[in-house]
Amino acid sequence: MKTLKCDLCEVTAEGETFEAWMKALMPHYMQAHPDVMKNAKEGDEQKWMTENKVRFDAAPLK
Ligand SMILES: [Zn+2]
């Protein structure tokens, strides 16, 4: 299980895999950063996933 911060604030989410972490973070994202999701352009989602996958992989395993 890894704990990783939201890329925009200090809130953390946990997940066994990157996909699980992303799923755990999503409700927070929709509540705290709806504008970011609303204003996402073509390709932004892919870029976000690539960047955050790198952060997830770099996070220490608990
Ligand atoms: Zn956040």
Give 12-32 pLDDT, tens digit per residue: 999 999 999 999 999 999 999
Enter the tokens of residue 57. 């992989």
25-51 average pLDDT score: 96
Q: Tell me the residue length of the chain.
A: 62
Residue 34 alpha carbon to ligand 1 centre in Å: 10
pLDDT of residue 22: 97
Residue 28 alpha carbon to ligand 1 centre in Å: 6
Distance from C-alpha of 37 to C-alpha of 29, rounded to nearest angstrom: 8
List CB-based neighbours of ion ligand 1 within 5 Å: 6, 8-9, 11, 32
Residue 5 alpha carbon to ligand 1 centre in Å: 8
Enter the tokens of residue 5. 């911060």
Q: Looking at the whole model, is its pTM more than 0.95? A: no
Mean pLDDT of the chain: 96
Residue 15 alpha carbon to ligand 1 centre in Å: 16
